Amino acid sequence: MATIPKREIRRAGLPISVLGFGAASVGNLYRPVTDEDARATLLAAMDAGLTYVDTAPRYGHGLSERRVGDVLRGRDGVVLSTKVGRLLTPVPGLKGDGERHGFRSPMPFEQLYDYSHDGILRSYEDSLQRLGLAHIDILYVHDIGPMTHGDDDARTFEQLTIGGGFRALERLRQSGAITAFGLGVNEWRICLRAMEHVDLDVVLLAGRYTLLEQTALESFLPAALARQVSVVVGGAYNSGILATGVRGPGPHYYDYGEAPPEVVERVRRLEALAERHETPLAAAALSFCLAHPAVVSVIPGLGSVERVKKTLDLYDTPIPAAFWAELRAENLIDPRAPLPGDEA
Ligand SMILES: NC(=O)c1ccc[n+]([C@@H]2O[C@H](COP(=O)([O-])OP(=O)(O)OC[C@H]3O[C@@H](n4cnc5c(N)ncnc54)[C@H](OP(=O)(O)O)[C@@H]3O)[C@@H](O)[C@H]2O)c1
């Protein structure tokens, strides 16, 4: 296997591997993972050269952070991001691992949004304790914006601006407590809004720059390039459909739910094209994101050692230039999207 290259989060001078580890899965996203399997999965990924791990308090109500921290403790050379904006509050008497907010975790906590100055600092300090680590490299403001907050969007955003949330992050960065900060979101307009108020180093954008959807090209990605804001791509399979394709019986998952017919049809065309070029659709989905010059890493969710191996195989799969040429010729992609090989 080839070594996995690194790209730099430019404003922070922080190199991360282009293939990273999305640790929502080891917080028991949709299904339980044992402690042993979570540990083995993280170790397999790191041994293979994935030197960037992304977690969050939300992932398993603290479970993902605990598991990630236990593996990273005492280990050098791995860059860690976690998130701020949700505090975990205890729920006495809560037992079992029934699904809550998508996670099958027994951690007895509920999540409380708080993007204020003190809320951000408390979230950061709580994460240090759960991780059992003395340093966090990157903090993302998690799920700010109307997609999550609806009518409460203005108030929650003001917690960051007037309420000092951004100021708290700037202080943490200035003091060296963290190396970089940004947003971790499923929408891109909020990133432009945030960039009017604060210098972000990096944005984790999930689902909005994929083989299926390139709306981030309209204005966010050009703005990120112009301001040297690095971009990490999450949800590169749009919740699964770009990994599984649509040949099977379904349900086909797209953006945290069942895919609408027009999405299924578009994936059907992508899948047919991939098949003509003997290319796994999931390999093209990973490779596509990394062709954009603002993108520094793509972070699939990895919930088992087998999934790590499969993902490494996908990453290593050569994709014929003719696949990319036909993708463009058939208008299956925004014509402005840079493709692998364009620069050659
Ligand atoms: N707001 C935010 O900051 C935000 C939002 C979303 C994501 N993220 C980050 O991005 C990471 C990845 O996001 P994600 O887990 O939503 O999306 P993803 O990696 O695109 O995976 C979504 C689904 O694809 C399936 N899948 C992946 N590889 C596959 C393969 N080779 N074959 C078949 N199915 C496959 C997985 O199925 P299985 O269940 O079988 O594994 C999973 O359910 C997260 O862990 C998190 O770190 C951040």
Residue 240 falls inside a structural domain: yes
Give the other-Cβ count within 10 Å of 323's Cβ. 20
Does residue 344 carry a pLDDT above 80?
Answer: no
Does the beta carbon of 28 sit less than 6 angstroms from any atom of ligand 1?
no
HSE toward the beta carbon, residue 201, CA cutoff 13 A? 23
CA distances from 262 to 4, 38, 178, 268, 273 (A): 35, 36, 43, 10, 17
> By three-state DSSP, how is residue 170 classified?
helix
Residue 1 falls inside a structural domain: no
Written as six digits, the tokens of 196 are: 């009017």
Say what the pLDDT of residue 2 is. 65
Distance 301 CA to ligand 1 centre (A): 4
Distance 118 CA to ligand 1 centre (A): 31
Residue 343 falls inside a structural domain: no
Q: What angle do CA 241, 297, 284 make, to 5 degrees?
A: 40
Per-residue pLDDT band at 3 (split at 50, 70, 90): confident
Residue 248 falls inside a structural domain: yes
Residue 297 falls inside a structural domain: yes
Give the domain CATH number at 147. Answer: 3.20.20.100
Q: Is 83 a catalytic residue?
A: yes
The strand pairing partners of 183, in sequence order, are: 141, 203
- For residue 232, the enclosing domain spans 6-329
Residue 103 falls inside a structural domain: yes
Residue 94 falls inside a structural domain: yes
Say what the pLDDT of residue 1 is. 61
Question: Domain total for the chain?
Answer: 1
Q: Is 309 a catalytic residue?
A: no
Amino acid at the residue 171: R
Does the beta carbon of 60 sit less than 6 angstroms from any atom of ligand 1?
no
pLDDT in tens, 27-82: 999 999 999 999 999 999 999 999 999 999 999 999 999 999 999 999 999 999 99
Q: Is 59 a catalytic residue?
A: yes
Distance 49 CA to ligand 1 centre (A): 19
Q: Which atom of ligand 1 is nearest to the CA of 303?
A: 41
Residue 196 falls inside a structural domain: yes
